Every structure is written in C-alpha cells, then in structure tokens.
Structure 1
Amino acid sequence: MLFSIWPSFIPYPPVSDGGYGIINFVVLYSIGGYIKLHHNKKSKNIYYILIFIIITITTFLFSIKYNQTSWRYDFISVMIGGIMLFMIFQNIELNSKVINFFARYAFGVYIIHGDYQVTEFIYKGILKCNLFYNSNFYIIHIFISILCIYIVCSIIDYFRDRFFKYTINPIINKIKIFNKKIVV
C-alpha cells in the first residue's frame, strides 16, 4: 500500500524515488520470498501470461493519463506485471549457457543502470532517449536500448566479478565472520 498504491495515485508518497531505491528492492525481494514459500508451482503459465498482457495494456492506458509516472518501478501495474513475469519464469527450466550467463549478472545490471548519475549519462547522453519520445521509432529505440544496456552492464559486472575473484574475495574469505553459515 505505502510503496506501490500510494505512489501510483496519491500525491506526496512516503518514498519518492520512483521505485529505484532500496525500499522498493526490499518490497520486491519480500514478495519474491513470499511467493517462493507459499506459491503452488502447479499453476498454469497461461493465467500469468494473460494477467501480464492485461496489466501491460493497463499500464499503457495509465501512461496516457498519468504520463511518465505509470512507467516507474513503484507504479502498481508495473509491480504486478513484474510479479507475473516472475511467476511465468519460475515454472520454466532453462539450461542455456547464454541465458544463465546473463541471468547471473542481472543484479549487477540493476545496480549499474539504476544509479541516478549513470541513468542520466546513459539515457540522455549516450542513447538520447529524449529525442525519441515523440518519434515513430520510439518502441524500436526502447527495445534496442534495453538490449544494449543489459549486454553492456552484464559485461561490466562480469569484469567486476573477475576482478573481485582474485582481489577482494580472497580477503573476505579469510575473515571468519563472513564465513559463518546462517541456518534458518
């Protein structure tokens, strides 16, 4: 209610970061944890796909009334759409090295492209998104931009991972407090 419905429809939400901050991350992580613990995996994906399509259309219709705010990560229809995508892919087993490579770096992609300074640099500086808002190529530009951002940020996080593997991780592994297992 506080971090999704309020920012969607009521002015002056408790957190006004557009869903890009730690609060939304914790909310989504909690929802994912709840789904993992309590969801019946025998549900059919067709229901989630239909809900996702309806929510996508709803988000588009909201964007006509609420302009850009309906595309923010804390907008209720975007959150529901994300949850439906999670539900769809939760039931799919993928054994692709390419997909698993890029999935491994998804959190790094989120962290890199979600930073306000990086976002401005990418969207205004490199991709010139503001030039495509009223263009016939808007949708094409969105898809190409998403693909490029994901690939470049994955590569950046890959090199960060390699760097940490030989520098930071050996130091952390020697510190006893970081090596204790948490038993739930």
Structure 2
Amino acid sequence: MMFFLVVYSIGGYLRLHYQDKIKSIYHTKYRNILIAALILILLGKGALEMLGVILNKPNAIITKPSLYFGEVVGIPLATIMFLTFATMKMRYNKYINMLAETVLGVLNDNELFTQTIIWDHIFPNLNYITSDYYLLFWAVKILGVFIVCSAIDFLRGKYIEPHIERFIDRHFDSWLGYWNRIVLKARAVIHI
C-alpha cells in the first residue's frame, strides 16, 4: 500500500510542478526504462527467493531482503511509472477502466480473504516449495488471487456501494447541519 501512496504522491508532485516539461516524445524512453526496471526487480527478488529455496531455508535471513528489495527502488520506479503513463496516448476503454477500478480493491479490501483463505488454505506455500512446479504454482496463485479479489471488488462496487451512496446522499444535509451546530457551539465556548 505504501508503494501506491508513493506513486500517487510523486505523480501529483510532477503533474503540479513539471506538467509543461513532461513531453510525450519521451514516452518510448520512459517505457523502456520502466520495463528494464521491472525486469531487474523481478530477477532480484526471484534470485533471493530461489537462494532461500536452494539453501533449503525459505524463511532464512537471506530471503528477507527480497521483501524490501522493491521498496528500495520504489521512488525511482514510481517516478518512471508516472512518466510512462503520463506520456502515453490512451483512448477511453470501458473494460480497462472497469478493471482499473477493481485493482485497488485487490490491494486494499480483501485482506482477510487473501491472506487467510487463499494464501494459507487454498494455496498452501509449504506444500509446493520443493515441487518442480513451484513457479507455475506461484503464477496460478497470483492469478487466482487477482481474479477472485477483482470479482469481489467488482460486486461490491456494483451492488453495495450504490446503497451506501444513496444513504449518504439522503442524510448528508442533516449531518452537515449537525456538524455546523457543533462548530458554532465550540466557537461560542472558546470565543472565536
């Protein structure tokens, strides 16, 4: 989650202060740097994880840096990600936007479901750690988590959020009036 806050913060800063200097002619350069950075991060994390497997110590101290490896390069990666997408010429696509709306839910909403049910019970890591299909297991596991959590978030947005929005819209004016009365009383008490 912290990585996405960094991405949004850097993107906002660059858009606010350097919008005129961000040129779409550099898109290919930004895209190539982004692809190279992502490949290096994946190789670095994969190498550290495999070293733990080779040493038969998947939770050893040698694999702990792989947890933080992505965060070390987070700021440069966030910057290049923003520049890549800010300079990309994109048309509106209903399905891409629908998928993008659910992705934050994959990261945010379904912690109990992803960590407890999917990670520990449906796809138990230690059962496959010595298998020849370990990488395939991880690919299927990640894809499964993404699909299930995207579906949950999509259903939440389609069936639950409209009811919450109507409830808030119906009561917002009374809540605002109540809040204003509290503020007026507080000002009277402290003589502002």
What TM-score do you get using the length of structure 2 for normalisation? 0.62
SS at match of 1:167: helix
Match of 2:10 among 28, 31, 40: 31
Aligned mates of 2:101, 2:6 — CA distance in 1 = 21
Indicate the RMSD between aligned Cα atoms, in angstroms.
Answer: 3.2
Gaps of 5+ in 2: 52-60, 177-192
Bigger radius of gyration: 2
Asked if 2 retains the 8 angstrom alpha-carbon contact of 1:59 and 1:78, the reply is no
Higher mean alpha-carbon deviation, 155-164 vs 40-49, is at: 40-49
Aligned mates of 1:101, 1:85 — CA distance in 2 = 20
How far did 1:87 drift?
4.3
Report the count of equivalent residues.
155
Alignment of 1:1-184 (within 5 A): 26-37=5-16, 38=18, 40-42=22-24, 43=26, 44=29, 45-63=31-49, 64=51, 66-72=62-68, 75-77=71-73, 80-81=76-77, 84-92=80-88, 93=90, 95-113=92-110, 115=111, 118-174=114-170, 175-176=172-173, 177=176
4+ long deviations beyond 4 Å? 78-87
Q: Which has the higher contact order (CA 8 A, sep 6+)?
A: 2
- AA matched with 2:95: V
How far did 1:148 drift?
1.6
Show CA shifts across 1:1-21 (max 9, x none).
xxxxxxxxxxxxxxxxxxx5x
Aligned mates of 1:137, 1:158 — CA distance in 2 = 31
- Percent identity of paired positions between Structure 1 and Structure 2: 25
Show CA shifts across 1:108-140 (max 9, x none).
111134x26741321111122222233222222
Bigger helix share: 2
Gaps of 5+ in 1: 1-19, 178-184
Higher mean alpha-carbon deviation, 52-61 vs 119-128, is at: 52-61
Aligned mates of 2:76, 2:112 — CA distance in 1 = 24
**CA 1:56–1:26: 2 relative to 1, 3 Å:** same
